[in-house]
Amino acid sequence: MSHTNNDTNQIGLETADMSGIITKLNGLLSSYHTFYINVRGYHWNVKGEHFFSLHPKFEELYTELQLQIDEIAERILTLGGTPLHAYSDFAQYTTIKEDKNVKDGKTCVKGIVTGLQTLIEEQRDVSAAAQEAEDQGTADLVDEYVQLQEKHVWMYNAFLG
């Protein structure tokens, strides 16, 4: 395969194959942004007996999500796409529902578990499509997130009992 023709992107992958991956990654980026905003809300608004344990855990999670958001956007750019960056686009393409004004610690944690499970499912879909398109970089990126988030699901579920 020639890496200089117009049918491939800057990293030698077929441009036609990558448009679908870019679309899926932009959907994932939208879901991450919505989940990030939810987790910020949990962090700001959580009240009750578990405040002192949950408040810093939520900050740890949203800080991790910030880094992942940046990596997903950079992957889209690497593939020759343009990352979505408007809230109206995020609202249109997210698979995660907004979770407003949640204050109860256990309800916040349930929202985190649901959000993580949704991201995991979406990332498995992105990974399968990326592998089919021989885009190992994208598959590796989201597979790493899935592994980390599966552990988070286990830990937050342990908190819920």
**pLDDT in single tens digits along all 161 residues of the chain:** 444 456 878 878 777 779 999 999 999 999 999 999 999 999 999 999 999 999 999 999 999 999 999 999 999 999 999 999 999 999 999 999 999 999 999 999 999 999 999 999 999 999 999 999 999 999 999 999 999 999 999 999 999 99
Q: Does residue 54 lie in a domain region?
A: yes
Of 75, 87, 81, 65, give the one whose Cα is nearest residue 23.
81
Please tell me the predicted confidence (pLDDT) of residue 11. 79
Burial classification of residue 30, based on how many CB atoms lie within 10 Å of its CB (0-12 exposed, 13-18 middle, 19 or more buried)? buried
Q: Does residue 8 lie in a domain region?
A: no
Distance of CA 10 to the CA centre of its chain: 24
Q: Does residue 29 lie in a domain region?
A: yes
Q: Does residue 25 lie in a domain region?
A: yes
Contact 79, 20 (CB under 8 A): no
Distance of CA 25 to the CA centre of its chain: 9
Q: Does residue 32 lie in a domain region?
A: yes
Which value, in Å, is the radius of gyration of the alpha carbons in the chain? 17
Which residues, other chains included, contact 154 with Cβ-Cβ below 8 Å and sequence gap of 6+?
none
Q: Does residue 60 lie in a domain region?
A: yes
Q: Does residue 5 lie in a domain region?
A: no
Could you list the residue range(s) of the whole structural domain that residue 107 is in? 15-160
Alpha carbon distance 159, 24 (integer Å): 32
CATH number, position 122: 1.20.1260.10
Of 25, 24, 26, 32, give the one whose Cα is nearest residue 118.
32
Q: Does residue 1 lie in a domain region?
A: no
Alpha carbon distance 8, 18 (integer Å): 9
Please count the structural domains in the chain. 1
Q: What is the pTM of this model?
A: 0.92
